Chain A
Amino acid sequence: MASAFEYAPAPESRSVVDIAPSYGLFIDGEFTEAADGKVFKTVSPSSEEVLSEVAQAGAADVDRAVKAARKAFEKWSALPGSERAKYLFRIARIIQERSRELAVLETLDNGKPIKETRDADLPLVAAHFFYYAGWADKLDHAGYGANPRPLGVAGQVIPWNFPLLMLAWKIAPALATGNTLVLKPAETTPLSALFFADICRQAGLPKGVVNILTGYGDAGEALVTHPDVNKVAFTGSTAVGKAIARSVAGTDKKVTLELGGKGANIVFDDAPIDQAVEGIVTGIFFNQGQVCCAGSRLLVQESVQDEVLDALKRRLSTLRLGDPLDKNTDIGAINSAEQLARITSLVETGEAEGAERWSAPCELPSSGYWFAPTLFTNVTQAHTVARDEIFGPVLSVLSFRTPDEAVAKANNSQYGLSAGIWTEKGSRILAVANKLRAGVVWANTFNKFDPTSPFGGYKESGYGREGGRHGLEAYLDV
């Protein structure tokens, strides 16, 4: 629909990032080919353009990387905390200096809008390194007794939704506590981790402390089951998380799992409605809803349901979907054809089960993977779209009558990662938050992250905490 005030294209320049035609695995401080020479292509989800070809790690490469990490562990863990902090501070500063380049890269490889990589992902990545750099020489005061020891070699597997941010969540605490590591980024978003490898070299990080293996699930499996890995950290789907838990059962590996979610965003009738609508939008459409802690279930008090839904639909009509590199784009591309197919199939199930589907009028680009922001109304607890994680820009709207009912419905989920409470009444925030079984409860906001705040789940959303002082425990022998 043509409007009077048509924003002209405002694309961020691609020239700030130089993507090589091919990349190797980063093992022991060097980029090397995979042992069997295998490679795979990574594409830009918004255009399906091939960005680069990267090495595909296999079991032999995993072994080589774990050995490199093991070799580096002795010296790295013996360094005084203040020395390890220097490297982390250096990495944090380099990330800030290269943030525009990394933001463009992440947008190209992941499909999320430049607005988000520029204003959310990259500042949080740098903040995470700065935060844990500060802990490196203060571990004696973290509450785990004097001189807590690192675990050894960490095997870390991260998802594609926040490639660099999830890398930061994994690597910063591991290094601060004196561990060495092997990290495998997701196969659809390998590039920012490889650029991070370059940053490690730029920062003069000793060889073998950080190893990056690009590859598929088989490489991830080889990594977490490797006998010389002491710590497994995984963020991703609940199905894979369960498989990992099974594979490490009976070993002395320490495990943290950050898995799926079906976050309830609860809007009471005394909520600040306009801000609640913004929070609902942020909750489910930030990063195209591909967020484990997304507020994918809207629980709205029946007395304000119509008002909230009208406002929400009006607001969705102003969302700008399109070229992720355009600075005015609110909604970017879905990360992969597979994910798009999964979203599409779950949405079809929702319709088949009788939920009412609504999308704002919205033109989707002809190439790439796209899904229009979507609402489901007339949803009950019995609908698949109210129970299963969709991991896409799809919001299920349910109603409730009383605070008790809101709590009961919010907790009625196999997951327990996040929840939001919207009310102007402070006592209600405290009362409801205490009853919610969710790792993160936001009050009058949603999807706010800070490195000082622990993050993690209940139930099938996983166990262990990342971030804050709590995040140290996962990497210490305590």
Chain B
Amino acid sequence: MPTTAPAFADATASDSALRRFLFGLPGVDAVGLEARAAALGTRSIKTTAKAYAIDLAISMIDLTTLEGADTPGKVRALAAKAVNPDPTDRTTPRTAAVCVYPDMAATAAAAVAGSGVKVASVATAFPAGRAALDVKLADVRDAVAAGADEIDMVIDRGAFLSGRFLKVYEEIVAVKAECGEARLKVIFETGELSTYDNIRRASWIGMLAGADFIKTSTGKVATNATPANTLLMLEAVRDFRAATGVQIGVKPAGGIRTTKDAVKFLVLVNETAGEDWLDPHWFRFGASSLLNDLLMQRQKLSTGRYSGPDYVTVD
């Protein structure tokens, strides 16, 4: 089921056509991009705006555990927290999803059943993605069969960096076909792509290939989500919708730990892609420790006092 927008059907007709298309995209001036992201970071979000942003951010979290040491118990605890983040305040919104490895997807699905919290599963030999295509597809099938609502795949950075863009594209198309009803998030591992031009090109490959979300990173490398790379990806989905009418989500992941950071990302969303993206259906945070900071700030706003780490649950 190739979902390439008709406007760009030619772009993916061959390796050389795709390369021409990607290299025809406007370049990115790194200094200017980072300056814009920093300038938006100086927005002062206070009182009612802050309360709105905190609740929105909580509702956008893919509460994540992706460790070799994950156990059913750990995943159930995480799921319980996703459903009910703050036991002392039931008005706290639930998170968007829990994000786990495929072998934990069934456990997670059972734990969140009926709550509205989605199960996201990484797949395609996450995080390196260094496996044969059929192994990656089997990984996806497994996760979907186990009840994953969303699949977080990684692109083949080796293929991308060696210029085999069509291979990257076709792999995403193949994964998308395995997803069925599940929404597909495509992880670029922006820290490995290294340049902003590459991130823009990868974004377009992902969008052309039918991604439902484009996602910065795995959280497993040195540089993960930054305001600048997320701003760039927000520009990409904005431009893609303008050209095709198709809206695609964005998920920064890794390294977003504080309320202050999360609010800055929401300002980026608001002033770049626009308010249509201010919705958990279209924007997510891949995070784990961020949730507790948001909860502490939420308690501060409602009680006027700072609590502390003992007043939020460990997961």
Tell whether, in the assembled complex, residue B50 and residue A275 are in contact, meaning their CB atoms are under 8 Å apart: no
Whether A275 lies near B29 (C-beta < 8 A) is yes
Looking at chain A's contact residues, the main secondary structure is loop
- The chain B residue with its CB closest to the CB of A423 is B27
- Considering only residues 241-283 of chain A, those with a C-beta below 8 Å from chain B are 270-275, 278-279
Would you call B35 and A4 a contact (CB within 8 A)?
no
Considering the complex, give the chain B residue whose CB is closest to the CB of A330: B39
**B44 lies within 8 A of A5 (CB):** no
B residues near A115, Cβ cutoff 8 Å:
42
Q: Which one of A6-14, A144-152, A384-392, A466-474 is at the B interface?
A: A6-14
Contacts of B52 in A (CB 8 A): 4-6
A328 interfacial contact with B, CB 8 Å: yes
Q: Are A10 and B32 in contact (CB under 8 A)?
A: no
Q: Are B42 and A327 in touch, CB under 8 angstroms? A: yes
A187 within 8 A of partner (CB): no
A residues within 8 A CB of B48? 6, 8
Complexed CA–CA distance, A445 and B36 (Å)? 11
Kindly identify, within residues 214 to 265 of chain B, every residue whose CB is under 8 Å from any CB belonging to chain A.
Answer: 235
In the complex, how many angstroms separate the beta carbon of B46 from the nearest chain A beta carbon? 5
Q: Which of B28, B271, B275 contacts A274 (CB 8 A)?
A: B28
Interface size class of B (residues with CB under 8 A): 20 to 34
| Candidates A5, A273, A445; contact of B49 at CB < 8 Å | A5
Complex contacts, A4 vs chain B, CB 8 Å: 52, 275, 278
Q: Are A318 and B271 in contact (CB under 8 A)?
A: yes
Residue B45 at the chain A interface, CB threshold 8 Å: yes
Cα A103 to Cα B275 with chains together (Å): 32
Asked whether B36 lies within 8 Å of A275 as measured between CB atoms, the reply is yes
Main secondary structure on chain B at its contact with chain A?
helix
Residue from A3, A272, A279, A445 within 8 A of B28 (CB atoms): A272
A278 touches B28 (CB 8 A): no
Asked whether A274 and B42 contact (CB < 8 A) given A5-B49, A8-B49, the answer is no
The CA-CA distance from A251 to B27 in the complex, in Å, is 54
* Residue A424 is within 8 A (CB to CB) of chain B in the complex: yes
Q: How far is the CB of B162 from chain A (nearest CB, A)?
A: 23
Closest Cβ of chain B to A116, distance in Å, is: 11
Contact of B314 with A by CB under 8 A: no
Give the docked Cα–Cα distance between A7 and B53 (Å). Answer: 10
Partner of A272, one of B29, B43, B275: B29
A279 to B35, CA, bound (A): 11
| In the assembled complex, B266 has its CB within 8 A of some CB on chain A | yes
Closest residue on chain A to residue B48 by CB atoms: A8
Contacts A272-B32, A275-B33, A328-B44 given: A5-B27 contact, CB under 8 Å?
no
Using a Cβ–Cβ cut-off of 8 Å, how many residues does chain A contribute to the interface with B? Answer: 24
| Chain A residue nearest in CB terms to B242 | A310
Give A135-157 as 1s and 0s: 1 = Cβ < 8 Å from B's Cβ atoms. Answer: 00000000000000000000000
Q: State whether A8 and B29 are in contact (beta carbons under 8 Å apart), knowing that A275-B36, A318-B271 are contacts in the complex.
A: no
Contact among B27, B31, B50 with A445 in the assembled complex (CB-CB below 8 Å) = B31
A338 interfacial by beta-carbon distance below 8 Å: no
Per-residue A-contact encoding for B19-34, CB less than 8 Å = 1, 0 else:
0000000111101110
A270 partner residues in chain B, CB cutoff 8 A: 26-27
In the assembled complex, B307 has its CB within 8 A of some CB on chain A = no
A8, B32: Cα distance in complex, Å: 28
Q: Are B32 and A444 in contact (CB under 8 A)?
A: yes
Flag whether A218 is at the interface (Cβ < 8 A): no
Are the CB atoms of A274 and B235 closer together than 8 Å?
yes
A300 CB, nearest partner CB in chain B, Å: 13
- The residue from A9, A272, A278 contacting B35, defined by CB atoms under 8 A apart: A278
Interface residues of B in 194-216 (CB under 8 A from A): none
Residue of chain B at shortest CB distance from A326: B44
* CB-contacts of A1-53 with B (<8 A): 3-10
Residues of chain A contacted by B47 (CB below 8 angstroms): 8
B-side contacts of A272, CB under 8 Å: 26-29, 32
Q: Which residues of A contact B32 (CB under 8 A)?
A: 272, 274-275, 278-279, 444-445
Closest chain B residue, CB of each to CB of A12 = B44
**Contact assessment for B45 and A7 in the assembled complex, using a CB-CB cutoff below 8 Å:** yes
Contacts of A318 in B (CB 8 A): 271
CB-CB nearest in chain A for B50: A8
Which residues on A sit within 8 Å (CB–CB) of B49?
A: 5-8
B32, B43, B45: residue with the most chain A Cβ atoms closer than 10 Å:
B32
Cα separation A270 to B29 with both chains bound (whole Å): 11
Contact of A424 among B29, B31, B36, B42 (CB under 8 A): B29
Q: Please indicate the chain B residues that have their CB under 8 angstroms from the CB of A273 in the complex.
A: 26
| CB of A448 to closest CB in B, whole Å | 9
Interface residues of B (CB under 8 A from A): 26-29, 31-33, 35-36, 42-50, 52-53, 56, 235, 266-267, 270-271, 275, 278
The 10 A-B pairs of least Cβ separation, nearest first, read A275-B32, A10-B44, A424-B27, A327-B44, A272-B29, A275-B29, A273-B26, A8-B49, A8-B47, A5-B270
Contact sample, A vs B, 25 pairs, CB 8 Å cutoff? A3-B275, A5-B56, A5-B266, A5-B278, A7-B43, A8-B48, A8-B49, A10-B44, A10-B46, A115-B42, A270-B27, A271-B26, A272-B29, A273-B26, A274-B32, A274-B36, A274-B235, A275-B28, A275-B29, A275-B32, A275-B36, A278-B35, A327-B42, A328-B44, A445-B31
